[in-house]
Amino acid sequence: MKHILTIALLLTASITMVSCFDKGQPNYQYMPNMYQPVGYETYGEYEVFPNKQEAMLPAEGSIPRGWQPYDYPNTTEGLELAKVESKNPLPVTQENLDNGKYLYDIYCGVCHGEKGDGQGILAKNEKILGVPSYADPGRVITEGGTYHVQMFGLNSMGSYASQTNEKERWQITMHVMNLKNTLEGKPLLEVETPMKDVAEAIAVMIDETSEEGHGEEGEEGDDQENEEQH
């Protein structure tokens, strides 16, 4: 009887404890910092911030990480000046050309066409009209001008500054210039040999020269030994 009473009491206590338990809010927190965030929640309201808003404007004069200044304004004069002065700072490597084509196909090809002839899928379906070819007579397409248009847009083309970074825009520019040259029957941009490849080639030449030198020294030594024997 005593055992039955003990079991009944334990069962009642267990049911009482479980029925009051809230899974969303544990009854006991042995390490509160593991449960309660120390930092401020994004877009939260806190007394320490102006207007109680955690999301604040950046400090005046601050710039995004990786941002580079661009010296040409979004005006007709700025575009004309960029066409003349601005040059592609990237070397013409196969990697830059390949990545430029990849990005061009994503952002530009739908309107300008894979060949740069203005026959992209949107132009063919008449969703966008009047997309010219890079080789149309009278068009002055330069590296600086191409980059400038990507930065600010032109006519019905919007800016791509938010979708691409500085390096990517110059890589796209490189591919555009190759498309233009192809359409006009001109030579493509000459691919530069990376310095790493040049260094490796020089190292191989030095090794070969060294081996030849050691071979000649060995032959001379054999000749001297033969002469001494005679």
* Domains held by the chain: number: 1
User: pLDDT tens digits for 53-63?
Assistant: 888 888 888 88
- What is the C-alpha to C-alpha distance for residues 97 and 108, in angstroms, rounded to an integer? 15
Confirm whether 138 is domain-assigned: yes
The structure tokens listed for 65 are 């990480």
Residue 26 pLDDT level (bands cut at 50, 70, 90) = low
Q: Report the CATH number that the domain containing residue 178 is assigned in CATH.
A: 1.10.760.10
- How far from chain centre, in Å, is Cα 196? 22
More confident residue, 176 or 61: 176
Give the pLDDT of residue 156.
87
Residue 225 pLDDT level (bands cut at 50, 70, 90) = low
Confirm whether 102 is domain-assigned: yes
Task: Tell me the mean pLDDT in the region 196-225.
Answer: 62
Give the pLDDT of residue 195.
65
Confirm whether 199 is domain-assigned: no
Confirm whether 203 is domain-assigned: no
More confident residue, 127 or 207: 127
Confirm whether 103 is domain-assigned: yes
Confirm whether 160 is domain-assigned: yes
Q: Which residue, among 184, 187, 189, 98, has the nearest Cα to 140 in the 3D structure?
A: 184
- What is the C-alpha to C-alpha distance for residues 66 and 166, in angstroms, rounded to an integer? 9
Domain assignment of residue 150, given as a range: 76-183
3-state SS class at 45: strand
- What is the C-alpha to C-alpha distance for residues 170 and 104, in angstroms, rounded to an integer? 11
Confirm whether 13 is domain-assigned: no
Question: Is a pLDDT exceeding 70 seen at residue 90?
Answer: yes
Question: Is a pLDDT exceeding 90 seen at residue 6?
Answer: no
User: pLDDT tens digits for 152-167?
Assistant: 999 989 999 989 999 9
